[in-house]
Amino acid sequence: MIRKIIHIDMDAFFAAVEQRDNPKLRGLPVIVGGNPKSRGVVATCSYEARKYGIHSAMASSRAYNLCPKAIFVRPRMEAYKAVSVQIRDIFQNYSDFVEPLSLDEAFLDVTMNKMQLKSATDTAIEIKNKILSETGLTASAGVSYNKFIAKVASDMQKPDGLTVVPPKAGERFIETLPINKFFGVGKVTEKKMLRLGIKTGADLKLKTKEFLIREFGKAGAYYFDVARGIDDRHVNPNRIRKSIGRETTLQTDISDKNTIMEILSKIAEQVSSILKRNHKKGVTVTLKIRYSDFKTVTRSRSLAERTDDSGTIMKHVKELLETTDADSKKVRLLGITLSNFSRETPVIMTQLKFPFY
C-alpha cells in the first residue's frame, strides 16, 4: 500500500512569532538568539536577515558583523511552546499518526483520511490554512509517499511553500537533489560525499551498497535506499526520547583543564538529575567540544552498564577529554549527552560481572 506522508515545518519560526507579536519588527532583519556581546548564537532569524547570509547556529557576533542594523531579540520559549500546542492540536484533527520532530515541525501519516478530504495535497493545504488563521503564521509542507521525501520537499519552496512529490516523481526528484539537501546529511558527511564525487542524488545512486557501507557505516545502507526513493520508516506518534544531554557556551574561551573539568562536572550533575527525574539510564556517554575556531568534535563511549550517576559519567568524560585537543586549543562550548537507554544490552553485560568463585 502506498502511504501518504506530510511534513509540516513552520517558516523562520521563532523570528516569525516575534514579528507577529511586535509589529515594529515586521519587514526588518530580526535575530532571535544570544546577544552578540555575550557570545550567544543565532537560534532563528527572519527572512530579511537571511539575505545578509545569516543563519541558525551562527555566532551572534558574526551575525552582527554581517548586518549591524539587525535587531537581536531574546528567545521567548513560552510563546513558541504555546504556538506549538496550537499547531499540534490542528494536526490531531487530520491524523492520529503525528510525530513531532521539534516545536515547529512534524510528520503526519494521512494514509487514513480522517477528515474525508479529496487528497493528501488538499489535506496539506487545509492544514496550512488552519495554521495561518489560528496562529497568524505561515508553514511550509511537503507531501509524498515516505518521510525522507516529504521532509526534503517541505524545504523546497519556503516560505509558505507546498511541494508535492507523488510516487511516480520520487526517483527523479531525488536524482536532481544536491547532496546537502539530503535529510540526514550534515556538514561533515557532505564534505566526505563531495570528496567521493557525490554531488547529487544521481551520483549517490551510482554507488554500490557495499561501497556506501564501507564509507559511511550503518548510514551507508540508509543512503543507498533513499537514493532510490525507499524509506520505510513509520510515522511514530510515541517516539521515545533517544538521548538526554546538556551543553553550555562559555563566557570566555578557555584552555585550562581544571576549569574545563569543573564545568563538565556541573553539566554531568545536571544530566544526571534529568536522567533520574525521567527514570532513565544511558549506556553511551558523549562529550561534545566546540573549539574557539568553531570546529566541533564529539567523543563517545559505551559503558558496560547503564548509568545515571554523575561520578560515573565524569570518570568517562575525563578519559574522553584526553582524546581531544582541549589541552592545546581553546574551548568555547562543552556538552555531555547520555543515550542508548535500551534494556537488552546492559542485561547481558551485567551477567559478565557474576563472580567466578
Q: Which stretch binds Mg ion (CB under 5 A): 4-12, 59-67, 237-245, 251-259?
A: 4-12
160: how many CB neighbours lie within 10 A of its CB? Answer: 13
Taking the least distance from each CB to Mg ion, the nearer of 9 and 308 is: 9
DSSP letter string over 37-93?
GGT-BEEEE-HHHHTTT--TTSBHHHHHHH-TTPEEE---HHHHHHHHHHHHHHHHH
Q: Which stretch binds Mg ion (CB under 5 A): 49-57, 64-72, 103-111, 115-123?
A: 103-111
- Return the residue of 18, 104, 231, 308 that touches Mg ion, per CB under 5 A: 104
Q: Is 12 left (phi over 0), alpha (psi -120 to 50) or beta?
A: left
- The yes-or-no answer on residue 105 being catalytic is yes
99 binds Mg ion (CB under 5 A): no
9 binds Mg ion (CB under 5 A): yes
CA dist 149 → 107, 139, 173, 215, 228 (Å): 11, 17, 9, 23, 11
Q: Which of 18, 48, 99, 105 is catalytic?
A: 105
Q: Compute the least distance from the CB of residue 174 to Mg ion, in Å.
A: 22
DSSP state of 153: H
By rule CB under 5 A, what string of x and - marks binding of each residue 13-32 to Mg ion? x-------------------
Q: Compute the least distance from the CB of residue 21 to Mg ion, in Å.
A: 17
Q: Which stretch binds Mg ion (CB under 5 A): 6-14, 18-26, 65-73, 287-295?
A: 6-14
137 binds Mg ion (CB under 5 A): no
Task: Measure the CA dihedral 268/269/271/277, to 10°.
Answer: 160
Taking the least distance from each CB to Mg ion, the nearer of 141 and 264 is: 141
109 binds Mg ion (CB under 5 A): no
Instruction: Report the half-sphere exposure of 27 (CA within 13 A, side-chain side).
Output: 2
Q: Compute the least distance from the CB of residue 219 to Mg ion, in Å.
A: 24
Q: Compute the least distance from the CB of residue 354 to Mg ion, in Å.
A: 50
DSSP state of 3: -
DSSP letter string over 182-245?
STT--HHHHHHHHHTT--BHHHHHTS-HHHHHHHHTHHHHHHHHHTTT-------TTPPP-EEE
Taking the least distance from each CB to Mg ion, the nearer of 161 and 346 is: 161
Are 275 and 284 in contact, with CB atoms under 8 Å apart? Answer: no
Taking the least distance from each CB to Mg ion, the nearer of 46 and 310 is: 46
8 binds Mg ion (CB under 5 A): no
Catalytic positions are: 105
Give residues in contact with Mg ion (CB under 5 A).
9-10, 13, 104
